Structure 1
Amino acid sequence: MSEDTIRLVTIGRIFRRRWRLLAVAAVVGALVGYGTSLVLPPRYTTSASVLLPGQWEERELLTQSEIASSSAVVDRAAAALNWGGVSGSELRDQVSAEATEGNIVQISGTADTPEHAQRLADQVAQQFVSFTARIAGDSTDSETAAGPEALRQKVMQTNRRITALAEAADPGQTVESVQTRTSLEQLRTSLEEAMKKLDEADPANNKANMVVMGPAAPPTGAAPPTRTQLIVGGALLFFLLAVVGHLAAARADRRPRTGPEVAAALGSALLGTVDVPGERAAHRPEGGGARARVRRLLGTDTRWDMPEPRASVDEAGRQLRYRRVCAHLRTQLPFARRLLVVVPDGDDIARRAAGQLVTEAGSASPGPSGRGDPLLRVVEVSVSRPLVPDRDTESGALVVLSAGSRTSEELAGIAEACADARHEVVGTVVACPVQDRPARTGGDPPENAAAAPPERGHATGGPA
């Protein structure tokens, strides 16, 4: 799988074969999220809105929102609230402001209780309005303030002069007198409209007329992340980490999975592939102890990335594979002699295949040359520290193992152990688990399943 694309079937296989481990990971993540919620107290957030009347550009609204959350405003709010041990610098992290549509600055306050959050938002809004009004008053000096007032006085004098001119005009209904009075009235109207626009465009008036649009609403719930969100988020995070960990381990796996790859790692020839029927429970490694029980409970005692066992043809087809392996042995070893069948420790599939191979070798009839199969003796070797019995009556080793169960380094270690014991690795047999079909309810057994000759029965044991 190391070079394969991750497919949905791979994810489904993880869920199906590691669902207990994934469930435990999700529970642990939920507990971590719950513990985090105890360390981080709940927070509550509410908002107060301030209306800015008049015409405002976008950059001016952004400036006002920055002023609302500035230290000058927040420090005044902290002094007005007078919360013991809470300074303005601490409150600045709990206050935010945002300019929204309709010339509204929305001021948000966050605190440990709903009441504190509501009071904080309201107080900051009030201090913001007061601060902007003070800025408008301070920025208007005497000369600047006298300018608009003097202009108003000039306009009033002009209006009086227009009235006097209108009265001094010819009271008759001549065309010239009517046009003169009409022009004077238009001038009066233009002056009044200009003064009205001047008053509306005065920035000091705009700032002074800011309005707090009612008190902040009490928070109805805690601000994110809530305790429920932390628990769910922790469970989901640990669940995803467990899945990603399985995928990463599978991508990094370099175990030989085909017969030629296994034989190449052992430095020998592939004699064949045999099928071993059985249930999934039979493939679990043996062993006791608390650690083994925990691994069995979580389902980590078996490989998850192995493909589903394919359906077996029948008993006759399986026996034919074993006979072909024995025939290859006769071809490579023309003279019958004793061989060690080396099986990695804990490989139940390989151990059962080796036992069946010994049985077939002992029950096989002599070949055309009149010579039978070599006598086989099964030995299990540890993979961590492989040790093969020294050469005695056996003159070679036949390695039987299941595909994808060992790394190339472990297989090389087994080959070196055979060489140290002066055993030549004459071949490799790969055992594959299959799903056994239901047994036949009637009919005669296959002809090729006859009992073995009694004189060869000692081949299944140790040296004769």
Structure 2
Amino acid sequence: MSDDTIRLVTIGRLLRRRRRFLAVLAVVGALVGYGASVLYPPRYTASASVLLPGQWEQRELLTQVEIAASSAVVDRAAAKLGWDGVSGTALRDRVSAKAADGNIIEISGTADTPERAQQLSDRVAQQFVAFAARIAGGTADPGAAAGPEDLRKKVAETNRRITELARAADPGRTVESVQVRTSLEKLRTALQEAVKKLDEADPATGKAGMVVMGPAARPTGAVPPTRMQLIVAGALLFFLLAVVGHLAAARMNRRLRTEPEIAAALGSTLLGTVDVPDEGRTHRPEGQDRRARVRRLLGVGTRWDAPASQRFADEAGRRVHYRRVCARLRDRLPAPRRVLVVVPDGDEIALRAAGQLVAEAADDPSPTPTSGGNPVLRVVEVSVTRPMVPDRDTESGALIVLSAGSWTAEELAGVAAACADARHEVVGTVVAGTVRSRPARSAGRPPENAALSFAVRGPATGGSG
């Protein structure tokens, strides 16, 4: 795992180099969000308010809230609505109630259309008021709730009977008749006082008469998450997952990126770094070429966390680097000799750089006063999984060319071990990179296919696996 700290510049480089790939993933996430909105259609919520007159304690209001959303009320509302295939059980999850300020209970109903949401909240509010009126006396028994009303009727009937008895008595002719009328008036007064005390003691007297405060307003927008919210959330989720995935992969990547690390893994000396144009293409089979075009289209053809490509003014600047590498290689050899250029299989950047290096070495083979001329280079590709290097023939050393950020220390150690097993001394290492600019071609530059003609493939004898 890399110990490099993830900084804003790292995230900026990721967004810049993977912008097309991230944009494609964001579009895919938006399509997934749209599909989720189709599977889960939008819902609409309407609210109706019920006023509870009188003085109510907080716990009593909470009790009424529970009653408003209870199955007894919702089942009655479902029966009144009569929606096909929608029962009270299905509506219980769509109805909610809460206590607002001022002894007001807000009943909310959720449905798939604004019209149905309005009908549901209105019907539940009406059934709640009716059900609360039935249990206002403290019981849900209709017979017990009707008891006080029957008593009042009997008291009224008794008052009428008292009036009839008072009229039938001899009005004031005898002392007995006066006493009878006085007793009847006292009985009437006692009955009226008893009814008054009954009304005062009845809790339904001050807490009955709940009122629905008008019909529910028809909703104009869907409740979250809406279709647009799902689309945006899907795009954002895929984008963030892609960014986090890239950063996590970079943190866990064990491929060597710097020249000192590569040279240390190979146990050799770094002779220099060279560059090849980023626009160059190599011949691949049709299937691989198609995949390569897709990777270039998405912008994933190169590693996003690799160092930024350098820009040279022209091709002469690149060729100077190749000549300097050839000069350092020549200085490490006492006489013109043949050198085996080892390139990891699949490293196209290194293969192109090796071809250019071969062309530069062959461009000036004449000896100089201080040396016997450039060595003759031969390129071979070696698999990093089972490295096999040709046995030593006329070569007197091996030069390893590879690109940065492509291979782990274990893979490079295996390549170096294969060179040693084939009796090749690793005389140096060259790290290849790319340039994004496309400078004008120099007249003295050899054709690029001529550089690649020095590369050889095929089975090799000797080496270590």
Matched, 1:61 2:61: yes
The 3-state SS of whatever aligns with 1:218 is coil
Match of 1:433 in 2: 434
Cα distance in 2, alignment partners of residues 63 and 53 from structure 1: 15
Given the two structures, how large is their TM-score scaled by the length of structure 1?
A: 0.73
Which moved further from structure 2: 51-60 or 356-365? 356-365
Determine the structure 1 residue equivalent to 2:91.
Answer: 91
Measured at CA, do residues 116 and 206 of structure 1 come closer, stay the same or move farther in structure 2, by a change above 3 Å?
farther
Which residue matches 1:189? none
Alpha-carbon spacing, 1:437–1:252, altered in 2? closer, same or farther (3 Å): same
Residue of structure 1 in register with 2:396 after alignment: 395
2 CA distance for matches of 1:60 and 1:439? Answer: 87
State the distance in 1 between where 2:241 and 2:455 align: 50
Identify the residue that residue 282 of structure 1 maps to in structure 2.
280
The residue that corresponds to 2:178 in the other structure is: none
The alignment-based identity, stated in percent, is 70
In 2: Cα distance, 1:438 partner to 1:221 partner: 58
Q: Distance in 1 between matches of 2:322 and 2:203?
A: 99
**Residue pair 1:285, 1:347 contacting (<8 A) in 2 also:** no
Are the aligned partners of 2:257 and 2:306 in contact in 1 as well (CA < 8 Å)? no
* Mapping 1:205-244, distance limit 5 Å: 205-244=205-244
Deviation, 1:64, is 2.2
With 80-89 and 355-364 compared, the bigger mean Cα shift is at 355-364
Instruction: Write the deviation string for residues 345-370 of structure 1: whole angstroms up to 9, x where unpaired.
Output: 44343234323433444426656665
Contact 2:380 2:455 (8 Å CA) reproduced: no
Partner of 1:267: 267
**Map of 1:298 onto structure 2:** 298
User: Is the CA contact 1:347–1:402 (under 8 Å) kept in the aligned structure 2?
Assistant: yes
- CA distance in 2: counterparts of 1:14 and 1:333, whole angstroms: 43
Contact 2:26–2:238 (Cα < 8 Å) also in 1: yes
Deviation at 1:284, TM superposition (A): 8.4
AA at the equivalent of 1:66: E
**Pair 1:431–1:69, CA change in 2 (3 A):** same
Q: Give the structure 2 partner of residue 154 of structure 1.
A: none
Q: Do 1:25 and 1:238's aligned partners in 2 also have CA atoms closer than 8 Å?
A: yes
State the match for 1:178 in structure 2: none
Partner residue of 2:424? 423
Unaligned stretches of 5+ residues in structure 2: 153-195, 457-465
Change (3 A) 1:319 1:29: closer
Provide the secondary structure at the position in 2 that maps to 1:272: strand
Q: Which moved more, 1:88-97 or 1:202-211?
A: 202-211
In 2: Cα distance, 1:379 partner to 1:341 partner:
6
CA distance in 2, matches of 1:271, 1:338: 17
Task: Give the match's secondary structure for 2:9.
Answer: helix
Q: Distance in 1 between matches of 2:28 and 2:311?
A: 38
Query: Match of 1:2, SS?
Result: coil
1:108 corresponding residue in structure 2: 108
CA distance in 2, matches of 1:5, 1:284: 36
Q: Distance in 2 between matches of 1:137 and 1:461?
A: 104
2:118 corresponds to which letter in structure 1?
Q
Residue 315 of structure 1 and its aligned partner are, at CA, apart by: 6.5
Deviations 1:196-218 (A, max 9, x none): 9x96x975334312211111122
1:410 alignment partner in structure 2: 411
Query: Residue 292 of structure 1: CA displacement?
Result: 2.8
What secondary structure, in the 3-state scheme, does the structure 2 residue paired with 1:102 have?
coil
Give the residue type in structure 1 aligned to 2:114.
P
Q: Superposition pairs for residues 54-203 of structure 1, below 5 Å?
A: 54-139=54-139, 203=203
| CA displacement at 1:135 relative to structure 2 | 2.1
Name the aligned partner's letter for residue 44 of structure 1: Y
- Equivalent position amino acid for 2:397 in 1: G
Q: Which amino acid in structure 2 is aligned with residue 272 of structure 1?
A: G
Q: Which whole-Å deviations, capped at 9, do the CAs of 1:323-348 have from their partners, x for residues lacking one? A: 54344434543344211111234434
2:321 and 2:99 mapped to 1: Cα distance?
A: 80
Give TM-score, length-normalised by structure 2.
Answer: 0.73
Distance 1:229 1:285 in 2: 46
Separation in 1 of the partners of 2:22 and 2:454?
A: 45
SS at match of 1:220: coil
Contact 1:343/1:380, CA 8 A, preserved across alignment: yes
CA distance in 2, matches of 1:43, 1:436: 54
Q: Could you report, residue by residue, the CA deviation over 1:262-298 in whole angstroms, capped at 9, with x for unpaired residues?
A: 1122232323333x253x3237895642333322322
- Distance in 1 between residues matched to 2:386 and 2:91, nearest whole Å: 65
Cα offset for 1:125?
0.9
**How much does 1:395 deviate?**
2.9
Give the distance between the partners of 1:87 and 1:398, measured in 2 at CA.
81
Give yes or no for contact 1:311–1:437 (8 Å, CA) kept in 2.
no
Q: Which moved more, 1:410-419 or 1:263-272?
A: 410-419
Q: 1:428 to 1:293 in 2, by over 3 A?
A: same
Following superposition, the deviation at residue 461 of structure 1 comes to 5.1
Question: Quick one: which amino acid aligns to residue 399 of structure 2?
Answer: L
* CA distance in structure 1 between the partners assigned to 2:14 and 2:285 by the alignment: 24
Matched-pair contact (CA < 8 Å) for 2:37–2:227 = yes
| 1:308 positional shift | 2.2
> Which residue identity does 1:223 align to in structure 2?
V
Distance 2:414 2:405 in 1: 16
**Secondary structure in 2 aligned to 1:378?**
strand
CA distance in 2, matches of 1:42, 1:132: 33
Is this contact kept in 1: 2:343–2:401, CA < 8 A? yes
Q: Secondary structure at the match of 1:379?
A: strand
Cα distance in 2, alignment partners of residues 298 and 462 from structure 1: 30
C-alpha distance in 1 between matches for 2:349 and 2:455: 21
Change (3 A) 1:229 1:316: closer
Contact 1:350/1:402, CA 8 A, preserved across alignment: yes
CA distance in 1, matches of 2:285, 2:267: 31
Letter in 2 for 1:236: L
Structure 1 residue 107: Cα displacement: 0.7
Tell me how far 1:16 sits from its aligned partner: 2.8
Contact between 1:326 and 1:361, CA under 8 Å: does it hold in 2?
Answer: yes
Q: For residue 19 of structure 1, what is the aligned residue in structure 2?
A: 19
Root-mean-square deviation (CA, aligned residues, Å) is: 3.9
Q: Which residue in 2 is equivalent to 1:310?
A: 310
